[in-house]
Structure 1
């Protein structure tokens, strides 16, 4: 027998089964145990918050029937999965379990059907938001490192990866399940093991990123909104909106706006604005009708020295040299 459920139906069954579940105990205030709906089988999920917005879930659920789940399009968080027993296969060929782990990036999950045979599922899953990556793995600017940005797609299609299971990954998953500690020591131990598990799953991806298939392109609607944002910047060079204001005007998140500019124009929103302003400044100086101070002000610089430094970085000469007609420009 095969049971077919939508995401909503599955969620409602779990909610109904746990309406009267106990709140976290004083001993483990960061852990909740959810019982599996009897209509589906027997078992439980232990939800443990190891860090703000970082959860590990320990699964031990035995399904009585084959399962077919209809996944709708939705905004998916960032998840890492390891099964020690049981498996799930999606309609595109991705497999979790029996030799493969799963990394589900943050972004829009495609509509799909996933199926799993009657089995006992034992494993762990890690659930978080991409901002947590900045907490543990920031780059020099305090942003998500370039190598990990495939895990944060915002309003675009998420990245789905299925790294192979290794003995090391199995070992860490087993240690999480069999954590020997209690209280705060347990939380500290699990936080370290969660980060270790994430590192092990990401290691082959980071070391061979050039071998990955290209991630899905931006949605046509998102591309149109990014172009709209560019036109707004061009029309308001002297008084541009902030990044947050611009994202609200065009109807995308500020993170999607930043990523879209990087993918489509090869630079950040600020970098694009700065580049256009510098090209305009160079043209105005060549015309010779305005002073360096006036051009700096039109370019959004209140400090003439800052303007001169930015101008020289781009063109290889100072604004005064440009104004005087020097032509050995080293445009970048």
Structure 2
């Protein structure tokens, strides 16, 4: 079963839980720990203000039910995210976890939803800050924001949302932050230093090669809107999807523009996006235990059961039958 909440409804649950269980506070390090609402599951969020307008959140959660959270269009701050376990796919085709980190630039975020699964344990961190904060710690020789980082600061334009690949160095720093060996004021100082190291590690490959990934595709707003329309068509027709050419025609684009748009906006091809969404929906259907493996395979568009099982195991580390029986997925960080 999947529970769907608006972002405001989820925030209200956390606020209500904090009223019944006031957060634990360490006055020496300014760290607050909020218990997860029982309606959602068990675990906690740890918050610490590292610098003015810069917050670290460490989250350690297990969900009672699979939860889809819908966020309306809003003015998003700058955010860096790393998961050591679990994954969060979003409605724009990105996935935090499963081998990817997240950099969410400041600017206007489109309406988006993300899913947290009750079959996974979530352990990770988020760094959130104002756009001005980035210039303070990463200035160029003139004290301004380096040109290669300007894609992260969009003001009233659409934000940049990318999912760079993780690596052992990033995972190691995230692990050190979660398992900080110090207490009190020393803990806060340690987390301050590690947060800068983590951001540098995530930004390094982007600074080294500004063209990969391409964070700000130069497309007309109408073209971007048509590509999102094509994505929505695919999500509605997983069982019987149109061909790439048919999809392009349906939204009034050339096949080449559609393919390039998917690569720019979602980091994958039309076929790759379709395959990813099919498997994510299959995993969710199997967890609900209302259908057989064969029925799920056909529901998401797989005519050959063996191919479905092989693709599912490559993605989640377990077979569809094991998923149906409740075994947790085995994912890379």
The TM-score range, normalised by the shorter chain, is: 0.5 to 0.7
Q: Give the number of equivalent residue pairs.
A: 219
1:60-71 counterparts in 2 under 5 A? 60-71=60-71
Please report how far the alpha carbon of residue 116 of structure 1 lies from its aligned counterpart in structure 2 after TM superposition: 2.7
Structure 2 residue 11 is the aligned partner of structure 1 residue 11: yes
Equivalent residue, structure 2, for 1:154: 155
Secondary structure of 1:211's match?
A: coil
Q: What is the alpha-carbon distance in structure 1 between the residues aligned to residue 113 and residue 72 of structure 2? A: 9
Secondary structure of 1:17's match?
A: helix
Structure 2 residue 28 is the aligned partner of structure 1 residue 24: no
Q: What is the alpha-carbon distance in structure 1 between the residues aligned to residue 129 and residue 41 of structure 2? A: 27
Which digits, 9 at most, give the CA deviation of each residue in 1:69-108, with x for residues without a partner?
1111000011100001111111221000111110100110
1:141-290 counterparts in 2 under 5 A? 141-213=142-214, 215=216
Equivalent residue, structure 1, for 2:91: 91
Please report how far the alpha carbon of residue 177 of structure 1 lies from its aligned counterpart in structure 2 after TM superposition: 0.5
Equivalent residue, structure 2, for 1:114: 114
Secondary structure of 1:24's match?
A: strand
Taking structure 2 as the reference length, the TM-score comes to 0.63
1:295-310 counterparts in 2 under 5 A? none
Please report how far the alpha carbon of residue 212 of structure 1 lies from its aligned counterpart in structure 2 after TM superposition: 3.0
Query: Relative contact order: is structure 1 or structure 2 higher (C-alpha 8 Å, sep ≥ 6)?
Result: 2
Secondary structure of 1:19's match?
A: helix
**Change in CA separation of 1:133 and 1:12 when aligned onto 2, cut-off 3 Å:** same
Which digits, 9 at most, give the CA deviation of each residue in 1:175-211, with x for residues without a partner?
0001011122111111110011001111111111123
| Equivalent pair of 1:157/1:216 in contact (CA under 8 Å) | no
Please report how far the alpha carbon of residue 216 of structure 1 lies from its aligned counterpart in structure 2 after TM superposition: 5.3
Structure 2 residue 72 is the aligned partner of structure 1 residue 72: yes
Secondary structure of 2:173's match?
A: helix
**Change in CA separation of 1:201 and 1:27 when aligned onto 2, cut-off 3 Å:** same
| Equivalent pair of 1:47/1:55 in contact (CA under 8 Å) | yes
Instruction: Indicate the RMSD between aligned Cα atoms, in angstroms.
Output: 1.8
Secondary structure of 1:209's match?
A: coil
Task: Provide structure 1 residue ranges, at least 5 long, that are not aligned to the other structure.
Answer: 221-332
Please report how far the alpha carbon of residue 26 of structure 1 lies from its aligned counterpart in structure 2 after TM superposition: 3.0
Q: What is the alpha-carbon distance in structure 2 between the residues aligned to residue 77 and residue 102 of structure 1? A: 13
Higher radius of gyration, 1 or 2: 1
Q: What is the alpha-carbon distance in structure 1 between the residues aligned to residue 34 and residue 57 of structure 2? A: 10
| Equivalent pair of 2:87/2:96 in contact (CA under 8 Å) | yes
Comparing 202-211 with 153-162, which one deviates more in the overlay? Answer: 202-211
Q: What is the alpha-carbon distance in structure 1 between the residues aligned to residue 19 and residue 124 of structure 2? A: 24
Task: Provide structure 2 residue ranges, at least 5 long, that are not aligned to the other structure.
Answer: 222-333
Structure 2 residue 52 is the aligned partner of structure 1 residue 52: yes
Which digits, 9 at most, give the CA deviation of each residue in 1:244-302, with x for residues without a partner?
xxxxxxxxxxxxxxxxxxxxxxxxxxxxxxxxxxxxxxxxxxxxxxxxxxxxxxxxxxx
Please report how far the alpha carbon of residue 142 of structure 1 lies from its aligned counterpart in structure 2 after TM superposition: 2.1
